[in-house]
Chain A
């Protein structure tokens, strides 16, 4: 998808017809739109989502005022007014002209448009110039860029850090799977059990009363499992939302002068506790693995000495190594001549003599086994010592982690008490809120634990009921056919789940590599971004002890992390589209997915610290093959120079407002251009001005 132009008519601040053309060059891929705060930048961002999907971003104020407000105010009651937008873009070899138009009759002085979707029309012109109008334009748009993905391509830079919040994990997983075509497998997983259920119900109808009762039991277990899964999902969402709220309270405490130091102390303690918990888990995992692999060693002390004794005994008796080997005697017997030259004929005394040696001659295999056994036995004491040493090390590690965790918990509790006992009532209120949220989080965690255990039990009972039902069902041809269908469907679901797991992991790893590459382009800090297997966006650093630990993320760091995710996603989608993913299997299974997407970002530098702004400005053009950025005059300072070489098209939203004190210009390339103009009340509007 390459954006070509955007046309608006009476769309919120933009009175009459307005038009923007986007930079489409490979080297100069940036369209920069300057605009004063409140002048229409967020409106322009929303023009994309409204035209494509009929929706708005959450931060758009008064979405019910869709038609230019003064045009509405000046119109007579009963008059029919309209608003429209046309987005032209190239996708594949075709050019798409997407138009959304809404008409409304003015019935009240205030504009209260509730149904804001309007009418959508799409015209597609192919490479030979022939144009057609698809019958389902909404479906077509959703196939080119699914609505649920739009927030990754049309976003407000000040809010993009929300992708690092707990509540965003599901969204990240969903977006990744959708963009990369894994939805087909997800849908198969949800549809195939329905077919299996039909087979089971039919089989139940053919069964005895006992079989029918068991079928009902299986159905009841499945209903409960579905309920537990749904409840778990709800509780996990609640938990994520509570964590986000707790972190928001933490940020408020950190922003307050009188609680900043204590909050920082708590943040450090929390980090220390989480690191300690990770160490504790790792130590316990290590112990489990060690014991399952080498746990037999402490019981081998007597075994080692017994083997040694027996081996020494055999050596002393001259049986090891054996003086005469069995193959040697057999060779003499086969050859028919002794080493002394005497013939060894059947029945001869020499042959009889040689045959007696066979009884005492040693077997080379047995000797080799004894030698190996002895070698193993000799190593056992050392291995046992090493096992004890490793176990002791892991126990010490666990003890140390438990101690650090306990200290951190105590520190967190002290901080909480100090915050509550402080004199600042605002801080006290925030701390109360924090404590309440912590309580709710703990309660939620307990519910999650209980539900997980209930689900596990239910699944085990379901498996038993399924076995009993299968056993109880009849043995006639129709029943057997249904049983076979049911068995195949169940196996199919299991295989699909396994396939989904592999594909998700494969895609996640590919995405991770691209997130890291994007992050490295933006930031020179020695940190590692990661999209975890739970699709959580994390940032890691190496501590002074050489251990990997979670890096503390500021808003700027979170913004960069989220931008890296967007960059990674855009990059992977493009590589899939252009057949450049280096995993053949993944490429084949995600065939037809991916695509080339632009990134449209409002307030790209809004929430960044000064030091990060320049880095982000430098990296943004590399984020996607086409970039549209909306900035205010203040946001443009220090950043536009970094973008200069990549800018292919520049525009100013000239805001005409009645409340401004004076006219204001913006200087771009040494030339002043209108930025804000004072106007009379009733004439407020915004114009789009192209800069040379």
Chain B
């Protein structure tokens, strides 16, 4: 049997390779996609792009 990877440790490492702001953005984008999955009419194209752009702007205060 192959040796199992430590998912938690590897995920932590993957996440930590990004800066704190990028981590915030990743969390926000995943949340948008997760919510989109449960919508009866999922957001597509420019609609979902706009949501992600807004998320990126919100973690990058001017």
Measured CB to CB, the residues of A under 8 A from B are 134-136, 139, 183-185, 187-188, 191-192, 194-195, 198-199, 477, 481, 484-485, 487-489, 491-492, 494-496, 498-499, 501-503, 505-506, 509, 512-513, 516, 583-586, 589
* B49 adjacent to A198 (CB under 8 Å): yes
Report whether over half of chain A's contact residues are helix, strand or loop; otherwise say mixed: helix
Assembly CA distance A477 to B62 (angstroms): 8
Assembly CA distance A91 to B18 (angstroms): 40
Assembly CA distance A184 to B33 (angstroms): 6
Partner of B30, one of A135, A188, A502, A516: A188
* A498 adjacent to B17 (CB under 8 Å): yes
> Measured between C-beta atoms, what is the minimum distance from B43 to chain A in Å?
10
* A488 adjacent to B5 (CB under 8 Å): no
* B29 adjacent to A488 (CB under 8 Å): no
- Give the contacts of B8-51 with A (CB-CB under 8 A): 8, 10-11, 13-15, 17-19, 21-23, 25-26, 29-30, 32-34, 36-37, 40-41, 48-49
Partner of B17, one of A488, A494, A505, A513: A494
- Residue in B7, B40, B57 with the greatest tally of chain A CB atoms within 10 Å: B7
Given A188-B30, A198-B53, A488 and B7 contact (CB-CB distance below 8 Å): no
Given A184-B33, A195-B56, A495 and B23 contact (CB-CB distance below 8 Å): yes
Which 8 A-B pairs rank lowest in CB-CB distance, beginning with the nearest?
A498-B14, A585-B8, A491-B22, A495-B18, A506-B7, A195-B52, A585-B7, A502-B10
Q: Which residue of A lies closest to B4 (CB)?
A: A509
Q: Which residue of A lies closest to B59 (CB)?
A: A488
> Measured between C-beta atoms, what is the minimum distance from A168 to chain B in Å?
21
Q: Which residue of B lies closest to A586 (CB)?
A: B7
| Complex contacts, A135 vs chain B, CB 8 Å | 40
| Complex contacts, B8 vs chain A, CB 8 Å | 583-585
Q: Which residue of A lies closest to B53 (CB)?
A: A195
Assembly CA distance A345 to B1 (angstroms): 74
Assembly CA distance A589 to B32 (angstroms): 15
- Residue in A187, A188, A492 with the greatest tally of chain B CB atoms within 10 Å: A492
Assembly CA distance A188 to B26 (angstroms): 8
> Measured between C-beta atoms, what is the minimum distance from A512 to chain B in Å?
7
* B33 adjacent to A188 (CB under 8 Å): yes
* B60 adjacent to A136 (CB under 8 Å): no
| Complex contacts, A485 vs chain B, CB 8 Å | 56-57, 60
* A505 adjacent to B1 (CB under 8 Å): no
> Measured between C-beta atoms, what is the minimum distance from B61 to chain A in Å?
9
Assembly CA distance A192 to B5 (angstroms): 27
Given A191-B29, A481-B60, A502-B11, A494 and B1 contact (CB-CB distance below 8 Å): no
Assembly CA distance A485 to B53 (angstroms): 9
Assembly CA distance A320 to B54 (angstroms): 72
| Complex contacts, A585 vs chain B, CB 8 Å | 7-8, 11
Partner of B5, one of A185, A477, A509: A509
Assembly CA distance A609 to B14 (angstroms): 47
Please name 8 further chain A to chain B contacts, defined as beta carbons within 8 Å, in addition to the given A585-B11, A586-B7, sorted by A numbering.
Answer: A184-B30, A188-B30, A191-B29, A192-B25, A484-B60, A489-B25, A499-B14, A502-B5
| Complex contacts, B2 vs chain A, CB 8 Å | 509, 512
* A516 adjacent to B33 (CB under 8 Å): no
Q: Which residue of B lies closest to A486 (CB)?
A: B56
> Measured between C-beta atoms, what is the minimum distance from A125 to chain B in Å?
19
| Complex contacts, A481 vs chain B, CB 8 Å | 60, 62
Assembly CA distance A506 to B62 (angstroms): 39
* A495 adjacent to B4 (CB under 8 Å): no
* A505 adjacent to B5 (CB under 8 Å): yes
Given A191-B52, A199-B56, A488-B59, A495 and B29 contact (CB-CB distance below 8 Å): no
* A492 adjacent to B29 (CB under 8 Å): yes
* A488 adjacent to B14 (CB under 8 Å): no
| Complex contacts, A505 vs chain B, CB 8 Å | 5, 10
| Complex contacts, A513 vs chain B, CB 8 Å | 1
Assembly CA distance A37 to B34 (angstroms): 46
* A139 adjacent to B18 (CB under 8 Å): no
Assembly CA distance A199 to B57 (angstroms): 10
Q: Which residue of A lies closest to B36 (CB)?
A: A187
Q: Which residue of A lies closest to B18 (CB)?
A: A495
Assembly CA distance A135 to B30 (angstroms): 26
Assembly CA distance A199 to B23 (angstroms): 18
